[in-house]
């Protein structure tokens, strides 16, 4: 294994993140990393994509640099820019450049949010070239052999206007993520929130009801993340119905009918 520089060490994940494998994604990701294949992690919000990437970075003992993408983000935000200081101008690497130099796993969260002229900067890094031209600086960065690019992608949100170009998509291997199946989700909620298994089961059942409403008034079902939130409050002694309302209904929808439906589901299972 190659020696990590001091700079790289600060991006290592010290403690093993808790992650329950859903299927064979851990092995598949390891194989993909083995050939440094850029990866696309697809799935709804709060289903464990970021946790998985953290877990894998730790397992592979590689530094992880995560970037939350948004539509105001420019290529310079990823690549770097000249900054002015008292001695004149100084180049500062962006997170993508840093990751390429030190051999980190670079996780671009919600890449679809970025504009297409920003997204294309990853192209030369995600094909056989594995290099990043810093046009403004006049430098061509050759990616460190350990560097890998990972992006997340929520297939639910995209309109045709806001989607990745085929030439971007077809640079990645993909892994589909979804909410874990019942038993697994119950153990995740139990472990992450501190509620007992019986309560976790009820929360998961409520979520299943809500997930059936996706596309019938709800844009997204209740995520595993929100179940963990509800559980955390309940474990602290908050009234279960109030906790569910606060974490599993209010953030999800403003539609009064939909809220009534969700409240009914909460009452059914907490009853
Ligand atoms: N397989 C899993 N093992 C352990 N915890 C999980 C798992 N799946 C989900 N979780 C829990 O769900 C929470 C949300 O997961 P995470 O932040 O990884 O979601 P995400 O898919 O990255 O969402 P977003 O698209 O909104 O960024 C985690 O903090 C963790 O508590
Ligand atoms: Mg995430």
Task: Give pLDDT tens digits for 1-47.
Answer: 556 677 899 999 999 999 999 999 999 999 999 999 999 999 999 99
- The pLDDT, as a whole number, for residue 154 is 86
Inter-axis angle of helices 197-211 and 256-270, to 10 degrees?
150
pLDDT tens for 190-208 read 999 999 999 999 999 999 9
Q: Which of 242, 176, 161, 181 is nearest to 41 (CA)?
A: 176
- Give percent above pLDDT 90 in the chain: 84
What is residue 164's predicted lDDT score, i.e. its pLDDT? 87
pLDDT in tens, 113-155: 898 888 999 999 999 999 999 999 999 999 999 999 999 988 8
The atom of ligand 1 lying closest to the CA of 110 is 25
Among 50, 113, 180, say which to mutate for ligand 1: greatest number of ligand atoms within 8 Å of CB.
50
Structure confidence at residue 159 (pLDDT) = 60
Reply yes or no on whether the pLDDT at 259 is more than 90: yes
HEC letters along 23-37: CCHHHHHHHHHHCCC
Which pLDDT score, from 0 to 100, does residue 161 have?
61
The preferred substitution site among 47, 182, 223 for testing ligand 1, maximizing ligand atoms within 8 Å of CB, is 47
Distance 225 CA to ligand 1 centre (A): 6
Residue 237 has pLDDT above 70, yes or no: yes
Residue 51 in contact with ligand 1 by CB distance below 6 A: yes
pLDDT of the residue at 122: 95
SS3 label, residue 101: helix
Model pTM score:
0.94
Q: Is the separation of the CB atoms in 142 and 136 below 8 Å? A: no
Whole-angstrom distance, CA of residue 157 vs CA of residue 9: 35
Q: Is 90 helix (H, G, I), strand (E, B) or coil?
A: strand
Q: What is the pLDDT of residue 157?
A: 60
Q: Is the pLDDT of residue 174 over 90?
A: yes
Give per-residue pLDDT as tens, 83-95: 998 889 999 999 9
Q: What is the pLDDT of residue 162?
A: 73
Q: Which of the ligands is closest to the CA of residue 224?
A: 1
- 243 Cα distance to chain centroid: 25
* Distance of CA 116 from the midpoint of ligand 2 (Å): 21
In residues, how long is the chain?
A: 271
For ligand 1, whether the C-beta of 113 sits within 6 Å is no
pLDDT at 79: 96
The mean pLDDT of the chain is 94
Q: Ligand 1 pocket, 150 CB below 6 A?
A: no
Contact predicate 228/192, CB 8 Å: yes
> What is the H or E stretch that residue 82 is in?
strand 80-85
82 lines ligand 1 (CB under 6 A): no
User: Which residue from 51, 111, 188, 248 has its CB within 8 A of the most atoms of ligand 1, so it is best to mutate?
Assistant: 51
What pLDDT, on a 0 to 100 scale, did the predictor assign at position 3?
Answer: 63
Question: Which chain residues have CB less than 5 Å from ligand 2, an ion?
Answer: 50
Ligand nearest to the CA of 48: 1
Across 243-268, average pLDDT: 96
* 213 — pLDDT class (breaks 50, 70, 90): very high
């Amino acid at each position: 294994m190659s020696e990590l520089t001091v700079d790289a060490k600060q991006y290592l994940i010290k403690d093993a993140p808790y992650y329950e494998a859903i299927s064979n994604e851990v092995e598949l990701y390891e194989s993909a990393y083995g050939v440094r294949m850029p990866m696309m992690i697809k799935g709804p919000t709060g289903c464990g994509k970021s946790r998985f990437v953290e877990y894998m970075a730790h397992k592979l003992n590689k530094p992880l640099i995560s970037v939350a993408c948004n539509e105001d983000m420019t290529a310079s935000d990823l690549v770097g820019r000249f900054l002015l200081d008292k001695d004149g101008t100084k180049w500062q690497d962006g997170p993508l450049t840093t990751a390429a130099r030190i051999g980190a796993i670079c996780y671009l969260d919600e890449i679809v949010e970025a504009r297409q002229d920003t997204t294309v900067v990853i192209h030369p890094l995600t094909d056989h070239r594995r290099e990043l031209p810093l046009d403004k600086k006049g430098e061509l960065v050759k990616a460190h052999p350990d560097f890998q690019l990972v992006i997340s992608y929520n297939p639910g949100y995209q309109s045709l206007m806001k989607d990745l170009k085929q030439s971007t998509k077809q640079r990645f291997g993909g892994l589909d993520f979804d909410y874990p199946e019942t038993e697994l989700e119950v153990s995740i909620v139990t472990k992450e929130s501190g509620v007992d298994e019986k309560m976790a089961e009820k929360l998961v059942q409520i979520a299943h009801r809500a997930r059936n409403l996706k596309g019938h008034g709800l844009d997204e079902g209740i995520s595993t993340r929100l179940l963990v939130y509800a559980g955390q409050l309940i474990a602290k002694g908050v009234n279960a119905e109030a906790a569910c309302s606060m974490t599993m209904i209010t953030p999800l929808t403003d539609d009064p009918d939909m809220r009534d439906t969700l409240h009914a589901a909460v009452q059914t299972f907490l009853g």
